[in-house]
Amino acid sequence: MRSTALFVLAALARFTQAVEPIVIKDGGFFGGDKQFFMVGVGYQPGGPVELDQGVDPFSTLSDCQRDVYLLQQLGINTIRTYAVNTTLNHDDCMSLFAAAGIYVVLDVNAPGWRYSINRDEPWTSYHAGYMANVFSVMEQFSTYPNVLGFFSGNELANEPKNANVTAPYMRAIQRDMRQYQKAQGLREVPIGYSTADVVEFRQDLGFYLSCIGDDEGHSDFYGINSYEWCGETTFQKSGYEKLTDLMEEVQMPNFFSEYGCNEVLPRTFGDANAIYSADMNHVFSGGIVYEYNQEVNNYGLVDVNLKTGNAKILPDYNTLREVYSKVELPTGETARKINRPKCSTVFPNIKAFDAVAAIPQLKEITDLIKKGVKVTAGKLVDVDLDLSGHKWTITDVEGNTVENPTIERVNTWNQVPSKSQTTGSSSSKESKNAAPGLKVGGNGLAVLAMAGLTTLGVMAGGLLVI
């Protein structure tokens, strides 16, 4: 086959339904008045490395151009990114993702002992230094309208015996994050948690994180990392039916924050069809396939050479693209009504772990919430979607070079608003980092915070949860 433009543009961005910040209503996510379903992949090229070398997933425009092209061609509307470094500038890349209609769910943690919670001894890592980095991620990223949510943690509890000790820290971190949002007038980006695929506590932890208590430490959403659907299976046999029943009882929006078993190869991604179907779409707001880039754990769709910048499309990319191109998203509203319980009724009924008392807030953290952290807030910039000067090459599965890659602009987020829009109002009650020209989602419904990346944490030695 001769190399030409690999894909037909017409298929692009069919899942991009919303062009404004996403908010939570009842059991679903909404952009404007339309329900939003995540069609996503995990995005952390390079994997679990410490981010102290001046590079992270949103710091190099030419890399983002390559990946936005490939992600847009894959037909997605959301990525999950596990770690960023707020000393870097992310405006170009975030603006490019925004222009391409791609939302970001972002973990507020990062590898390294200072930036993640130690799941065996969380009290040693929950301190003002840790929270300062969490707050800096919020300060910098809340201004980007395409940031959909923050994960306060990822798989902090990864076995029944550490749910006991870690669960109260999940609520403590979410409490601090929510207070920071309010005190500093940030856009109320939903805050939630990404839970490990552990059946013993998955539902109980959902109850625990959903309940409304005096601490305000609840999750706005619950992300489920699940690798139950392997090879050719069914809604019933895979365990997804059971999972849907369990999560329907948990009173908050749910989605798959990681999915895509690789125990049976090649992967067929049959679960993508189930997730958006009527069997599941009243409970789950879509999902995020693990993961974009090939790493040692062999889940990649694309193999990026981090030295040369060249990328090779892997067979699973084509399979997933085919599956996503056939998925029918619900056209109406499917989100169920939710009714959050009070913690006083939930706590005594949790069986899987002891829901111990709230972790007291440290004075240094309270001070930081009042004072704010110093970090440059992100802003949208005008980005060029022209890729003609690119230095990297992309090859397809047969080894042919992909010619003339292009990115399609699907919204106007990257167009710099006129002066009058940015400087016109000085109404101090307005959220200070609402994106220029965009209204702040003021319904206060969404609050999420998560903290860790399971896979990253495990690979980093079993203690670090990023």
Residues annotated catalytic, as ranges? 155, 258
52 versus 367: smaller Cβ distance to ligand NAG: 52
311 versus 466: smaller Cβ distance to ligand NAG: 466
Of the candidates 94, 105, 109, the residue with the CA atom closest to the CA atom of residue 36? 105
Q: Does 340 bind ligand NAG (CB under 6 A)?
A: no
Q: Does 341 bind ligand NAG (CB under 6 A)?
A: no
| φ, ψ for residue 126, nearest 5 deg | -90, 100
Residues 452, 179, 177, CA angle at the centre, nearest 5°?
Answer: 10
Q: Does 133 bind ligand NAG (CB under 6 A)?
A: yes
Which strand ranges, in their side-by-side order, compose the sheet holding 34-36?
22-25, 28-31, 34-36
Name the one range near ligand NAG by CB under 6 A: 160-168, 278-286, 310-318, 437-445. 160-168
Q: How far apart are the first and last CA of the chain?
A: 43
Q: What is the DSSP string of 215-275?
A: T----SEEEEEE----SS--TTTTSHHHHHHHHHTSSS-EEEEEE---SSSS---THHHHH
Q: Which residue has the tokens 């109320």?
A: 188
Give the residue, chosen from 17, 164, 179, 297, that forms a contact with ligand NAG under the rule CB under 6 A: 164
Minimum distance of ligand NAG from residue 439's CB (angstroms): 31
Interface map 194-213 toward ligand NAG (x if CB under 6 A): --------------------
Q: Does 353 bind ligand NAG (CB under 6 A)?
A: yes
3-state class (DSSP) for residue 107: strand
Q: Does 221 bind ligand NAG (CB under 6 A)?
A: no
94 versus 302: smaller Cβ distance to ligand NAG: 94
Give the residue, chosen from 30, 115, 235, 240, that forms a contact with ligand NAG under the rule CB under 6 A: 115
376 versus 406: smaller Cβ distance to ligand NAG: 376
205 versus 343: smaller Cβ distance to ligand NAG: 205
Pairing of strands 34-36, 38-42: unpaired
Q: Does 354 bind ligand NAG (CB under 6 A)?
A: yes
Minimum distance of ligand NAG from residue 112's CB (angstroms): 5
Which residues between 32 and 61 bind ligand NAG (CB under 6 A)? 50-52
Q: Which residue has the tokens 């306060």?
A: 152
Minimum distance of ligand NAG from residue 152's CB (angstroms): 16
Close Cβ partners of 93 (under 8 Å, ≥ 6 residues apart): 57, 58, 59, 60, 61, 64
* C-alpha distance from residue 184 to each of 368, 372, 429 (Å): 10, 7, 11
Half-sphere exposure of 291 toward its Cβ, with a 13 Å CA cutoff? 26
Binding site for ligand NAG (CB under 6 A): 50-52, 85, 87, 110, 112, 115, 133, 160-161, 164, 353-354
